[in-house]
Structure formats: C-alpha cells, structure tokens
Amino acid sequence: MWRTACRLDDVPPGGMKECALEGGTKVLVVNAGGEYFAYQALCPHETVPLEQGIHDGSILTCLEHLWQFDVRTGAPLGDAETGLTSFRVKNEGGTLHVWTEDSANPKG
C-alpha cells in the first residue's frame, strides 16, 4: 500500500531525511540527483539511524562503522555484510509516497 512519507522539498538536493509513515514505520528518503530512493531507516549493522550518515550520489555511508550501500539499489558495498531493505517511491503533486507491504514492513 502507498503511504505518505514527506513533501518533496523536505529532502534537499543531495540530502536525506528520515520519515515516519502512517503506522509508525520509519524510512530513509534519499535525494540523489533529483531521483528519490527509500530504504529502511536504520543501518542493519547496529541499528544506527542512516540519516546521520552521508551520501555522494552513488554511495550511502553509515558513519558509525563505515558500512556502505549503493544509493540506487541498497546493495551492500565494501565491508557491509547486509544490504538495505528498499521501498518503491512515487511523487504525486510534490508529496513523496512509499510502497510498503504489511508482511514485509520492517520496524525502525
């Protein structure tokens, strides 16, 4: 089901924002060159908020232990042993929506 995440302008160019979806699930929305991606909000390594990390448009880095992920797919890079759960994103009238399935809805 599509759930409202945030306004398009809540996520600055080259930035990230943790958003709470209705129902309490938190996701990280990433703006990479005007494309938006959504992932689980917490690093799979030690549940550190990924919003506190950085990205360069291609690699998202959790600054706690430097685990890295592909910004476009969530795939693990370098020392990361686990990838990120990704969610589909759509923009409707300046509002970003994220698709979640209740059975696969990670808490975070």
- Residue 8's domain comprises 2-102
pTM of the model: 0.91
59 in any annotated domain: yes
8 Å CB contact between 7 and 90: no
| Residue 68 CA, distance from chain mean position | 13
107 in any annotated domain: no
48 in any annotated domain: yes
Q: Provide the CATH number for the domain around residue 97.
A: 2.102.10.10
Dihedral (CA of 43, 49, 53, 54) sign: positive
* Cα dihedral 3, 51, 33, 101 in deg (nearest 10): -30
Q: How many domains is the chain partitioned into structurally? A: 1
pLDDT of residue 23: 84
Q: Which two tokens stand for residue 89?
A: 């994103």
Block means of pLDDT (10 residues each) for the chain, 108 residues, are 96 96 94 96 95 97 96 97 97 96 52
61 in any annotated domain: yes
pLDDT of residue 103: 46
pLDDT of residue 102: 63
